[in-house]
Amino acid sequence: MRLKLVSSILIGCLVLAGCRSSGPDDVLTIGSRPLPQAAAVAAVPQQQGPVPLSDVTASIVPPAAVETSQPHQDALAWAGPVPGGAAMATSTMTPSGMTAGMPLPNERPVAMLAPVVPPIPQDLQDAPRARSGSAGRSRIYSHRFKDAKPINFGKTKPRDYPVHGVDVSRWQGEIDWAKLRSQGANFVYIKATDGGDHLDPMFKKNWKRSDDAGLKRGAYHFFYWCRTAGEQADWFIRNVPRDPDALPPVIDVEYNGESSCKRRLSPETVREKMQVFMDKLERHYGQRPVIYTAPDFYKDNLRNAFLDYPFWLRAVAQHPSKVYPGRKWIFWQYSGSGLSHGVKEKIDLNVFHGSEELWHRWSGRGAS
């Protein structure tokens, strides 16, 4: 019994020793104020050592996958859009495809560097678009035309311009287009329609065969002042194909003493009707129409008008600078009595206002 009592007393003392109050050795001091141990731990931040990369990645990616996944992740993160869309992008962000501690690139990502695009020259922005669907450049033939009624134009002659062409209608009959081109017809404007119900009977044949011979070709409409502009535009659109390789369409505005329509409208009404017609063609063909006119009609109706449209001017006795002072032009019709192999009848002769290089740029931006 005494041995058991002594054991109990010893056990009780040990318990009381474990439950004693905190003494001076259990208190930390900051300055002169003592703080309990728990408060001291909260006040003094604990420093942690760096976590080894292998310890982190081992819990996410198997060690063998760390090296192989790094380059793939860089490519997806910095080389631009992810092929396959959002679904693939999401799948690459799952834990099986990530590595901890992947460094950010020090330089700007390549995908963010946009190429420098040179501006389009202003003259090309303003020029009508044509021949956009073909490749290469067409050959420029020197003119060999004759004239039944030759004119001395003075200092600046038609022969001084390198690019010549013609315009035709049913009155030229059957044409040998290959031969006509070899004589210097580098372009042709073909009569398509009159008013609101007349189609030149040779238009479709001339349209196809001139293209087969390699000429740059366009179509023109003879405007009637006794028909509405809208129905005339509809008639032209109905009969002239929308060909991206064609030259811009032409509106022919002049007085015609042989027409049954004898109306003479005010200049304001003339320009209003022209605008309706040209707007409708431009919307349909995607090209700004060319205005063809003659001296008397121009003087009465078109001086200082339509300054942002290309003009095709008839001047068979003097240079256009004399007949249409101050007017910029793109084509000059210098003869109505031209003679050429390949055509039995007389033919209208024209020149383009510019060099061969400018012709290629204007008519097709360097395309055939």
Return the CA Rg of the chain. Answer: 44
Annotation marks residue 67 as catalytic: no
290-293 and 311-314 beta bridge pairing: parallel
Residue 127 near residue 328 (C-beta atoms within 8 A): no
The amino acid at 232: Q
- Cα-to-chain-centroid distance, residue 346: 42
Pick from 348, 322, 321, 328: which is nearest to 337 by CA? 348
How far is residue 209's CA from residue 328's CA, in Å, rounded to a whole number? Answer: 32
Pick from 215, 235, 357, 247: which is nearest to 312 by CA? 247
Within a 10 A sphere around the Cβ of 86, how many other Cβ atoms?
8
Q: Identify the active-site residue in 67, 174, 254, 282.
A: 254
Pick from 140, 245, 148: which is nearest to 182 by CA? 140
How far is residue 16's CA from residue 129's CA, in Å, rounded to a whole number? Answer: 105
**Catalytic sites, residue numbers:** 254
